[in-house]
Amino acid sequence: MRKASTKLADGRELFYYDACGSDARSAVDQRVLSPITVASEIRYDRLLGDSVAVAPHRQDRTYHPPSDHCPFCPSRDGQPSEIPDGDYAVAVFENRFPSLVGESGRCEIVCFTSDHHASFADLTEEQASLVVEAWTDRTAELAKLPEIQQVFCYENRGAEIGVTLDHPHGQIYGYPFVTPHTTFMLRSAAEHRRKTGRNLFDDVVASERDEGTRVVWEGDSWIAFVPYAAHWPYEVHLYPRRRVRDLRELDDDARVEFPRVYLELLRRFDRLFGASASPTPYISALHQAPFTKAGDTDMEAEFALHLELFTIRRAADKLKFFAGSEAGVGVFVNDVLPEAAAAQLRKVASN
């Protein structure tokens, strides 16, 4: 991998990730941009015990621009964008409309390809590997910042999910606290360790492998399954067979196999509802262990890197909404039997 860095016109950082041997990048951002003025803050909810990022400046963020004014396309034909170069493989840059900034954290955009009309599933294994290398590098770099306690890489795909920019991209959040989702998992892992003396994540993966009916893919280094208590209509969890805390700890074999299985899962999601349906909307969430600057705690060592991929689509013409029970009291109601979802995901496997 070859990495190059530059500054955008307003001082934000941008990083290019290319295959080894690629030409050096030297394009300069020619735009005239005012410095970023943000009002992001973290507010603690005393009733729920979690934190909320309040970012009113995001009301003015770019919203469904026409494709010829996409800010994530390369700068071409007199149309400057967030990416000064005329082409790129993978680009990562600070979000101009961040939810988190400064002592409140950091938000970065990851553009997977310069092709506006592609999706992650359209990438080759080599291209997807470069995205994984970018995720890994940014995890390592953000971990050095004193205010960051957890790095979260994710992608939202589809207008149904709420995506406002069509270009294939994801985001990386550096949180100044441990997120509620991770806190819940760590709490469950601590209780499981106290009761059994074993690791919860290891036991979940082992039970899914032994039971078998919800496994949708298994390779030498990774296993993918629909969880027993899936929250979403079609939901897949992807785990490395050797437990690690984050992307930095993957061995070479797991790093090579990851893009292959991830692309296969994304392509299966796009085949779930037939050719007549629009591309499947999904959220892909890569969960990594939190970290402290003073060293690892026992609970951080318990955590397992894993990816959760899910869609809100429950049928070709039906969506699963985050409605009263889910939004009001946090109790999910799943309309699709997890075992049936797993069977369907196996059925649409690549030949």
Give CA separation, 208 vs 157, 204, 213, 214, in Å.
28, 6, 8, 7
State how far the Cα of 279 lies from the Cα of 271, in Å rounded to an integer: 9
Contacts of 307 (CB under 8 A, 6+ apart): 237, 238, 262, 284, 285, 286, 287
Dihedrals phi, psi of 194, to nearest 5 degrees = -65, -40
169 is catalytic: yes
From the CB of residue 337, how many other CB atoms can be counted at a distance below 10 Å?
12
Whether 46 contacts 26, CB under 8 Å: no
The single-letter code of the amino acid at 151 is V
Structure token digits, residue 349: 């496997």
Give the integer Cα–Cα distance in Å for 117 and 149. Answer: 35
Three-state SS for 270? helix
d(CA 78, CA 101): 31
**Looking at 169, 237, 287, 306, which residue is catalytic?**
169
Residue 171 near residue 95 (C-beta atoms within 8 A)? yes
Within 8 A by CB and 6+ apart from 300, the residues are 245, 289, 290, 291, 292
- Residue 276: exposure state from Cβ atoms within 10 A (0-12, 13-18, ≥19): exposed
Euclidean distance between CA atoms 212 and 346, whole angstroms = 12
Return d(Cα 314, Cα 341) in angstroms, integer: 10
Q: What does the alpha-carbon distance between residue 242 and residue 220 come to, in Å, rounded to a whole number?
A: 10
Residue 331's SS3 state is: coil
| Residue where the block lists tokens 């070709």 | 316
**What does the chain come to in residues?**
351
Q: Catalytic residues, which ones?
A: 169
